[in-house]
């Protein structure tokens, strides 16, 4: 039916197409976002961090915090995100919406993206409570969605002395 050279040619053609398709496929694992406590005195401060950033150029993070215990006071970019523009919507107590964008993406491992500072509401107890990231959207500099996993853990929120 087919000669050996035709069979070899078909095999090589299929192999080349398969290898070409495999080279176009990129394996993208989800980036993990978490909140890390920086310190508690005189005001509780937390950092939003990502385990790995690959050409990260935009993000939207919705964060919930205990409004009966904390008041959001300030947010600051870090050295690596200094070129980003940002907006924080803090109109609803207990909820922050952080949006950041840059024309050029950043890359790295264990990247500190943004710092948040709070004030304790007077006469409130020390307790373990959630600072929880409710939603996360990440975008590369090529306007591709970057998969994201949330790592929300309970943090002890101590009142200042």
pTM of the full structure: 0.75
What are 30-41's pLDDT values in tens digits? Answer: 888 988 888 766
Which run of H or of E encompasses 142? none
Q: What is the DSSP string of 35-71?
A: EEEEE-SSS-EEEEEEEEEEEEEEEEEEEE--TTTEE
Question: Is 31-157 a domain of CATH 3.40.50.10420?
Answer: no
Cβ atoms within 10 Å, residue 92:
10
Residue ranges of domains in the chain? 31-157
CA distance 161 to 159: 7
Kindly state the average pLDDT of the residues 92-109: 95
């Amino acid at each position: 039916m087919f000669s050996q050279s035709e069979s070899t040619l078909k095999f090589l053609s299929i192999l080349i197409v398969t290898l070409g398709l495999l080279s176009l496929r990129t394996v993208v694992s989800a980036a993990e976002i978490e909140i890390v406590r920086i310190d508690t005195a005189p005001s509780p401060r937390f950092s939003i961090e990502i385990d790995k950033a690959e050409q990260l150029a935009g993000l939207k993070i919705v964060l919930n915090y205990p409004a009966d215990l904390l008041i959001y006071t300030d947010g600051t970019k870090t050295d690596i995100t200094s070129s980003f523009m940002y907006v924080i919507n803090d109109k609803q107590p207990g909820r922050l919406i952080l949006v950041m964008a840059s024309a050029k993406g950043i890359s790295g491992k264990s990247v500190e993206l943004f710092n948040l500072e709070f004030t304790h509401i007077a006469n409130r107890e020390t307790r373990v409570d959630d600072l929880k990231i409710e939603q996360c959207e990440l975008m590369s500099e090529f306007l591709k969605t970057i998969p994201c996993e949330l790592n929300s853990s309970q943090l002890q929120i101590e009142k200042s002395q």
